Amino acid sequence: MDIHGADDQPGREPPIVRHYQASELLPVVKGPLHDLLQKQPAVLGSLQMVSGLLSVGVGIVFAASQNMDESLFTLFRVSQLTGALFIIAGVVSNLLFKYPELLATEILGSLKSFTMACAVADMDIHGADEQPGREPPIVRHYQASELLPVVKGPLHDLLQKQPAVLGSLQMVSGLLSVGVGIVFAATQNMDESLFTLFRVSQLTGALFIIAGVVSNLLFKYPELLAVSLMVNCGCIVVAVVAACLISVDLANWSALNDDHMRIEVLELCVLGLEAFLSAVLCFWFFKEKRAKSQ
């Protein structure tokens, strides 16, 4: 860490040197809501959005199948109002990463004051007074060293895209698929549909729950990137096979199994969502893996 100077120039009087005291290193100034964002509030926000959508869907079903005066639940649109409120709360929680000012005006003001207090500092090097009776040593001309670039952590660019949010959506949709599969297993015989025979809903739901868990663990365990990529690729393949089996069942739609077929249509929509989430994550993971290998 020594600083090497240039050779003395001949014929030049040596100037007086001063003794300098190095200034203290400033602490790393954290961005607004740094500690809060480390807890991944966007994950819980995504769960709020999904639960809100589910509540709105339940409210729509009640509004279509029940009269207004049959229950307070339908009369006051409880499910729709709470669902819409939770959707808004989830959207705001997800926007905190880019717009910290959405948290609260007074909290942001205090954080800004703290940041400015840390940033406004005297960067000059102050020297001590010259000591009398001391011979002035020869001064050398020094060149300041270059500033080192900030070293990014593993998967920094990938984690900026919040893959844990999509992973949470995978987990919720997987739980929904498992629930639908349990309902089918309890109300339908094994040979009535391919959906029930091959336990399509339970298998796809369990696989997407695993994929969501691995995607959420990437924040603390970056070495799981390859595992998450393979799991999500497997999810896409399984989702395509499951969609084909459901399509065969829908081709045999009849009035006797009308209720079950409607639920299979719902499961097909959930599979489409799960496959889309896995495709987006696979694209991000493959891009990050290729960037690391270069």
Asked if 150 and 28 touch (Cβ cutoff 8 Å), the reply is: no
| pLDDT tens digits for range 149-207 | 666 777 878 888 889 889 989 998 999 899 999 988 888 888 889 999 999 999 999 99
Side chain identity, residue 94: N
Task: Of 202, 226, 203, 205, give the one whose Cα is nearest residue 214.
Answer: 226
Task: Of 214, 208, 241, give the one whose Cα is nearest residue 229.
Answer: 214
The pLDDT, as a whole number, for residue 11 is: 60
The pLDDT, as a whole number, for residue 157 is: 83
Q: What are phi and psi of 35, to 5 degrees?
A: -65, -35
Q: Where do the structural domains in the chain lie, given as residue ranges?
A: 29-117, 154-294
Read off the pTM.
0.65
Reduce the DSSP state of residue 190 to 3 states and report it: helix
| pLDDT tens digits for range 79-130 | 889 988 988 988 888 887 777 777 764 344 444 444 443 444 444 444 455 5
Interacting residues of 167 by C-beta distance below 8 A, sequence separation 6+: 43, 211, 212, 213, 214, 215, 216, 281
